[in-house]
């Protein structure tokens, strides 16, 4: 199947209502992954495909499943994901297609202990976290009986609960279509994926990994060595170096994104915030405004970018190097297919060695934009440092005891209230001298009054 024939979503031969829903959701052109996967699923093939964040895997589930439902309203679909975050991400994208179709997509995570049987008629797709999938299948037997489309998202992570997953899939009708996504198609994932699919109609889709494109001349890989106090100044200089471009600053959390926006506002620099907690349509509106202007700065974390139809990015700037370097490679995956762009990462001085790991993975050196901050190469300084160190002796193994910790000065002139001189098991008449009427039962003495004293006081009261 030639993907060149599918340059627009209309080329997939979708129903008129679904085409209107796609236009309303502002999905303009299919990604390379969607061009390969969607036609196969529409043709009722079982598909195993490799996808990472930003490649459009949500639409690969949504468009074919909704098209099958429009042709047969009794046909239902279920998507099982490993975490609640992926449930939210899929629901955001798929939910954008539903208003025009007068349908509703339900999502359930481990925090939800209720379901909506009254919405079954208008609910074509249910998205479940693996933790609640068994409970849903046991309760909603009528819905499960009509499932003819099964989606497994991030199978390589679902395999950590292999026995539970096999039990769930076994409870769904074998007369179904299966669509499986994985972050990486390893032999183990393929072997397990074949177990869930029909081998007679199984297809595998694996695009060439963008790492091969990162070494090309049209992708500029570079980094800037920064310190905490000058990090934002370096960011502004990096953005100002390329005028009349669309720059995207990617952070690790919404908290950092809001911090950057406040800094931009204080300096009267135009920038738009893409926050994960914002509505998807509101974020898309901001993106469209920047795309229409042809220049501007967008700020958001990785999770906030999911589901957005991003424009051509000229400069991708990472606020900091992620703790897991794989997240940085996935970040570049989003834009490798767009063509020429610059990717800059701000690296702390102590983590400069991590740049070498990136270079080994990419097979290409990264350009340092501030060589004066990098200083001389440590490899050249190491011999001189070794020679300047004194020879090690037996005394080097001796570790003196740490100095004694000085205790803070405590004044002896402390006035202790008279009530604290009382014994814990004080009599009631003694407590009455220090506790006002009505508060006596809340005092420490009354709480710990011996049983004999309590009995005696009760007899006296009677």
Percent of the chain surpassing pLDDT 90? 25
- Sheet containing 177-182: which strands, arranged edge to edge? 106-108, 125-129, 76-81, 147-152, 177-182, 46-50, 202-205
* 232-269: pLDDT as tens digits: 999 998 888 887 889 999 998 889 999 999 999 988 88
For residues 318-332, average pLDDT: 79
Q: What would the DSSP string read from start to end of 87-119?
A: HHHHHHHHHTTHHHHT---EEE-TT-----GGG
For residues 357-362, average pLDDT: 78
* 374-428: pLDDT as tens digits: 554 444 433 443 444 445 444 444 445 455 444 444 444 444 455 445 454 555 5
Percent of the chain surpassing pLDDT 70? 74
Looking at 33-37, 369-373, 400-404, which range is the least confident one?
400-404
Start and end residues for every CATH 3.40.50.300 domain found in the chain? 3-205, 211-374
pLDDT over threshold 60, residue 220: yes
For residues 259-286, average pLDDT: 88
Q: How many CA atoms lie within 13 A of 208 on its CB side?
A: 6
pLDDT grade for 60, boundaries at 50, 70 and 90: very high
Predicted confidence at residue 455, as pLDDT, reads 63
| Residue count (the chain) | 462
Q: Which fold, 211-374? A: Rossmann fold (3.40.50)
Q: HEC string of 240-305?
A: HCCCCCEEEEEECCHHHHHHHHHHHHHCCCCCEEECCCCCHHHHHHHHHHHHHHCCEEEEEEHHHH
Query: Which pTM value belongs to this model?
Result: 0.63
Q: What is the CATH number of domain 3-205?
A: 3.40.50.300
* 146-199: pLDDT as tens digits: 999 999 999 988 998 989 999 999 999 889 999 999 988 888 888 888 899 988
């Amino acid at each position: 199947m030639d993907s060149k024939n599918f340059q627009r979503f209309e080329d997939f031969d979708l129903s008129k209502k679904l085409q209107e829903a796609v236009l309303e959701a502002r999905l303009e052109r299919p990604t390379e992954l969607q061009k390969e996967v969607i036609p196969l699923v529409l043709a009722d093939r079982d598909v195993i495909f490799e996808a990472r964040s930003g490649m459009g895997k949500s639409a690969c589930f949504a468009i074919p499943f909704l098209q099958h439902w429009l042709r047969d309203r009794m046909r239902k679909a279920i998507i099982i994901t490993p975490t609640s975050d992926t449930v939210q991400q899929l629901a955001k994208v798929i939910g954008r297609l539903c208003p025009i179709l007068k349908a509703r997509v339900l999502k359930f995570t481990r925090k939800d202990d209720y379901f909506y049987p009254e919405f079954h008629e208008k609910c074509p797709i249910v998205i479940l976290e693996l933790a609640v999938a068994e409970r849903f299948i046991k309760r909603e037997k009528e819905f499960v009986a009509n499932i003819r489309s099964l989606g497994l998202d991030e199978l390589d992570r679902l395999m950590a609960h292999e026995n539970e997953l096999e039990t769930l899939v076994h409870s769904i009708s074998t007369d179904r279509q299966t669509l499986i996504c994985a972050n990486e198609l390893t032999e183990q994932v393929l072997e397990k994926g074949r177990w869930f699919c029909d081998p007679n109609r199984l297809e595998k889709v694996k695009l060439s990994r963008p790492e091969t494109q990162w070494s090309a001349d049209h992708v500029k890989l570079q980094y800037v060595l920064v310190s905490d106090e000058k990090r934002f100044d370096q960011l502004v200089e990096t953005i100002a170096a390329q005028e009349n471009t669309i720059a995207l600053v990617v952070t690790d959390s919404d908290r950092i994104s809001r911090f950057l926006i406040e800094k931009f506002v204080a300096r009267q620099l135009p920038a738009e915030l893409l926050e994960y907690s914002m509505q998807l349509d509101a974020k898309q509106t901001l993106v469209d405004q920047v795309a229409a202007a042809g220049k501007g700065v967008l700020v958001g974390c990785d999770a906030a970018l999911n589901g957005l139809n991003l424009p051509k990015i000229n400069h991708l700037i990472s606020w900091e190097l992620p703790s897991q370097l794989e997240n940085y490679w996935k970040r570049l995956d989003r834009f490798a297919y767009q063509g020429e762009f610059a990717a800059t990462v701000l690296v702390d001085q102590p983590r400069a060695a991590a740049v070498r790991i990136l270079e080994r993975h990419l097979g290409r050196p990264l350009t340092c934009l501030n060589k004066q901050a990098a200083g001389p190469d440590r490899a050249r300084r190491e011999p001189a440092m070794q020679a300047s160190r004194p020879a090690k002796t037996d005394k080097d193994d001796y570790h003196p005891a740490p100095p004694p910790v000085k205790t803070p000065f405590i004044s002896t002139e402390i006035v202790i209230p008279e009530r604290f001189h009382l014994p814990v098991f004080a009599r009631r008449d003694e407590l009455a001298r220090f506790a006002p009427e009505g508060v006596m039962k809340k005092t420490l003495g009354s709480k710990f009054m011996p049983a004999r004293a309590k009995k005696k006081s009760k007899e006296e009261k009677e």
